[in-house]
Structure 1
Amino acid sequence: MIEAEAGRAYPGGARHGRVVHSLGRQIVTGELAPGDPLPVEERLVAELGVGRSAVREGVKVLAGKGLLESRTSAGTRIRPRESWSLLDPDVLGWRFEPGPRPEDVRLLADLRVALEPGAARVAAERADAAGIRGIDEALAALYATADDPDAFIEADLAFHRAVFAASGNDLLLHAYEMISIALRSVRHVHTRVVSHNKETLPGHERVALAIRRHHHRKAEEAMREVVEVARADAERTAMDAKDAHD
């Protein structure tokens, strides 16, 4: 049965948003598999409680995200995963909510390891006074929230964003904004042990110090250590959650 849900808001409360988010989530989670035909329009109209025009507009949006393709002879079908716009905000949200697979958590952690040390290096090379001030303020927030796991997670996301912002590279910052959608969605796999969070503070401080001093190699090395620890934590927590569920 197609699940009717509002999903994220679309401009003007557009009815096609219901179609986009219901079908999009089913495609990304595998309920509708690549190659499967899309349910016929009459069924979508009845089960989602929208008109034909909303269904058609929703299908166009999903096609734009690479999830659907329409052919005159074959109708509308689910496209293979490699065709999806994987960094599209909606696709990322559907992939990591409500319960990401351990494999997806690993892939996200791998992406951070591949991207963030380089961003820290560029930040050390390019950061101006405002960028460095933003990192220092974010670091102070990390220390201030160390005893509150939920607030610490938000402060940690803000610290890493500040590093990307300090790079002065809008492409890098956009990449992090997309990644942060998934990172927020996997909050439950972040470590909530206060003592462990406090142990990560010196690593973040080394990143900030290296960027402040424009030591690009040290900034890259320090950030690599930080995200490697985060990767190990996320993978361990995700596997523990999976074992508990099984």
Structure 2
Amino acid sequence: MTKPNRTMALVEALGVRIASGQIAPGSYLPSETELEHEFGVSRTVVREAAKILSAKGLVTVRQRTGTRVEPRENWQWLDAELIGWLSNGRISHAELLAFAEVREIVEPGAVALAALRASTAEREAIMAAYRRMEESQHDPVAAVAADKEFHLSILAATHNPVLQSLRQAIESILDAVFPHTVGAFSFNLENHHAVAHAIMTKDAMAARAAMENLLGETTRFLENLPKPPIKDATLG
């Protein structure tokens, strides 16, 4: 394994432990020597990994006291890797709702732009993604894949470079939220169709309203999910 690969493997291993609560906020990562022995890497790799985690807001590196895990509110929540680690580890009900709120802020505006700016091919691709959602509604894996393609195709059709730069973050948010909203899939198909139809007819106001309805349904579903028991992260 090359040095960059070793570094990223260590970043991921530590990131998952932090995101899952195995290493709790306020506590310290194992020492450099311990990490060298556990992962079979050099001290340089350990220090590079710590710098990457620090850039994501997960840790603060202190020369004499060690590398301390930051409070969750200090993390870079739009970092795609971090969202991926969260979705594979401990993600709280409140955090799922926070992701839903971000979608409610970003996606209605994005779809209004897409309705005005999408090319003919992009409009057809969005409608095709919707049709795949409809056809695969009884196949959760295929349905979720089509749903994700639907939303990411809308983002691409905005032709706004700032919004397009959020693609990885939005994709990761969808990956985090969709497994929890599969139960609402069929109920929300009509809203997806309304979004697609508004884009096809270049009606920005209707597209925004339909997306607000769609995301409102998703948020209501998440709000009514049973809240998982709170786990003491220090127990591992």
TM over 0.5: yes
Match of 1:114 in 2: 105
Match of 1:27 in 2: 18
**Corresponding position: 1:58 with 2:49:** yes
Q: Give SS of 2:185's match.
A: helix
TM-score between the two structures when normalised by the length of structure 2: 0.85
Q: Give SS of 1:77's match.
A: strand
Contact 1:124 1:210 survives alignment (8 Å): yes
* Runs of 5+ consecutive residues of structure 1 not aligned to the other structure: 1-9
Q: 2:160 aligns with which of 166, 169, 172?
A: 169
How far apart are residue 74 of structure 1 and its match? 4.1
Higher normalized contact order (CA 8 Å, seq sep 6+, divided by chain length): 2
Give the whole-Å Cα distance in 2 for the aligned partners of 1:177 and 1:183. 10
Of stretches 13-22 and 118-127 in structure 1, the one that deviates more from structure 2 is 13-22
Q: 1:87 aligns with which of 74, 78, 83?
A: 78
Q: 2:210 aligns with which of 219, 222, 235?
A: 222
Match of 1:123 in 2: 114
Match of 1:144 in 2: 135
Contact 1:36 1:77 survives alignment (8 Å): yes
Contact 1:27 1:78 survives alignment (8 Å): yes
In structure 2, relative to structure 1, the CA distance for the partners of 1:68 and 1:157 (3 Å cut) is same
Cα-Cα RMSD: 2.5
How far apart are residue 108 of structure 1 and its match? 1.2
Contact 2:87 2:175 survives alignment (8 Å): no
How far apart are residue 126 of structure 1 and its match? 1.8
Give the whole-Å Cα distance in 2 for the aligned partners of 1:214 and 1:186. 28
Match of 1:7 in 2: none
Give the AA of the match of 2:116: E
Q: 1:46 aligns with which of 17, 37, 55?
A: 37
Match of 2:89 in 1: 98
Match of 2:234 in 1: none
Q: Give SS of 1:191's match.
A: helix
Contact 2:104 2:215 survives alignment (8 Å): yes
Match of 1:4 in 2: none
Give the whole-Å Cα distance in 1 for the aligned partners of 2:105 and 2:206. 16
TM-score between the two structures when normalised by the length of structure 1: 0.82
Give the AA of the match of 1:182: I
Q: Give SS of 2:12's match.
A: helix
Question: CA offsets per residue over residues 13-62 of structure 1, 9 Å max, x none?
Answer: 72122321222222233333444333211111122232322212211221
Of stretches 13-22 and 113-122 in structure 1, the one that deviates more from structure 2 is 13-22
In structure 2, relative to structure 1, the CA distance for the partners of 1:219 and 1:21 (3 Å cut) is same
Of stretches 109-118 and 60-69 in structure 1, the one that deviates more from structure 2 is 60-69
Match of 2:185 in 1: 197
How far apart are residue 78 of structure 1 and its match? 2.5
In structure 2, relative to structure 1, the CA distance for the partners of 1:225 and 1:18 (3 Å cut) is same
Q: Identity, % of aligned pairs?
A: 32
Give the AA of the match of 2:48: E
Give the whole-Å Cα distance in 2 for the aligned partners of 1:81 and 1:198. 34
Give the AA of the match of 2:192: H
Match of 1:235 in 2: 223
